[in-house]
Amino acid sequence: MNPTKVVRENVVKLTDLPNVGKTVATDFAKIGITRPEQLCGEDPYDLYVRFCKAFGEKQDPCMLDVLMSITDFMNGADAKVWWDYTAERKVRYGEKIRV
Enumerate residues 6+ apart whose C-beta is below 8 A from 29. Answer: none
Write down the domain spans for the chain.
Answer: 3-93
pTM for the structure as a whole: 0.93
The answer to whether 4 and 78 have CB atoms below 8 angstroms apart is: no
User: Mind listing the pLDDT tens digit for each residue in 20-50?
Assistant: 999 999 999 999 999 999 999 999 999 999 9
Question: What CATH number has the domain spanning 3-93?
Answer: 1.10.150
User: Mind listing the pLDDT tens digit for each residue in 10-22?
Assistant: 999 999 999 999 9
- Count Cβ atoms below 10 Å from residue 43 Cβ, excluding itself: 11
